[in-house]
Amino acid sequence: MISSASFRDFETYLTAIEKFTDHELIPAEPRLEAEDRVPEELVARMRELGLFGISIPEDFGGLACSQEEQVRLTMAFTRASAVYRSRFSTTIGLTSQAILDFATEDQKRTWLPRMASGEVTGAFALTEPDAGSDAGAVKTTAIRTGNHYVLNGWKRYITNAPEADLFLVMARTDPSSQGSTGISAFLVPAGTPGIEPLPAPPLLGLRGSHSTEIRIENCRVPLENLVGGVEGRGLGAALRGINSARTHVAATCVGQAIRLIAEAVAHARQRQQFGQPIGEFQMVQALLAEMQADMLAAKALVLDVARAFDRATANGTALPFPDIAAAKYFASEMVCRVADRAVQVLGGAGYIEDNAVTRMYRDVRLFRLFEGTSQIQQQQIAKAMLRSD
């Protein structure tokens, strides 16, 4: 695995990831789609390159990349299928960041180095049939009995559940509580009796990424697996991971848009109609220009938010939650517009399955839904605006 000392500087590392994307990830996309999984040799390469540890501090074996650096890396490797990112995204964002900020020192030492190396894949188990955007509606319970908690409930849409080595489970330790109070976070190793990921359902897009339901039935978890050793802090831990993940999702949308634009431009140069490349026609040029302007606006916003994230982390101040929501909202809406225009540029070829643009058109639709729908982001942005003087 790459360590922080094994590349001269960040730009050198970024170049290595760009080459990995161009020479290994993009060429393997047809196989990824056909096999409905990320090939194990590519997962091994991700570990070797340190991608599981980009957000984890050096003290725990990670690369300690800043949020801005993480965003730039994400834009690089998500020029390839976003499924590759999903294989390690739940580790670098949702689970590791909650552990980093809320877990005990022993919990950090136990899990973060193994996450950074890629030995452990984390899965974030918050969403339920009746709890998603309304995270405070969690019904999974964790009842203390002696030296254990007994967990019972049902989780839904849990990315990497079949591949996970560790589940970060949100459960209600105070059954009489309502809303966000009384919800705690638990570290539950895969294979613990009583926690069972169900078979992965077919997805509209992102084939090869597995998002499943999890049955939790009389799952006994030792007291020391309560995150931070304190009840009632589960939603705080969840939000720490979610806001990091939303920034990564926004960057992913930019990376996907960059690739879509490249595919559309290549087609516009090659496809001949009326004796000339279709890129010579002004209406096609207008589509390309709109795509490029949209992507550049999102890229600038995401980078600006990542820098604000870093400043808040360095100063110990609150993360820029409304700006993170704005970046996730704008970028996810942007990439869907770009994908639609890319299909339009390709014409009939854009509606044929054996095509990167067609696949990505399916893939990017998810980004307006997960880590908070566009409507939830709009609500959070507007509420912050109305609270401001």
Which DSSP string do the residues of 20-67 spell out, in sequence order?
HIIIIIGGGHHHHHHHTS--HHHHHHHHHTTGGGTTS-GGGTS----H
Q: What is the pLDDT of residues 41-94, one digit of tens each?
A: 999 999 999 999 999 999 999 999 999 999 999 999 999 999 999 999 999 999
Please tell me whether residue 311 adopts helix, strand or coil conformation. helix
- How many domains is the chain partitioned into structurally? 3
pTM (two decimals): 0.95
Domain boundary among 197, 232, 267: 232
Q: Are residues 245 and 179 in the same domain?
A: no
Q: What is the pLDDT of residues 131-183, one digit of tens each?
A: 888 888 999 999 999 999 999 999 999 999 999 999 999 999 998 888 778 99
**In whole angstroms, what is the distance from residue 33 CA to residue 109 CA?**
36
Domain carrying residue 156 = 123-232
- The percentage of residues in the chain with a pLDDT greater than 90, rounded to a whole number, is 90
Flag whether 29 is in a domain: yes
Residues with catalytic annotation?
371
Helix 234-270 × helix 356-364 angle, to 10°: 150
Answer yes or no: are the C-beta atoms of 95 and 248 closer than 8 Å.
no
Looking up residue 130, the CATH number of its domain turns out to be 2.40.110.10
Answer yes or no: are the C-beta atoms of 99 and 168 closer than 8 Å.
yes
Domain boundary among 119, 138, 159: 119
Please tell me whether residue 214 adopts helix, strand or coil conformation. strand
Flag whether 208 is in a domain: yes
Q: Are residues 132 and 67 in the same domain?
A: no
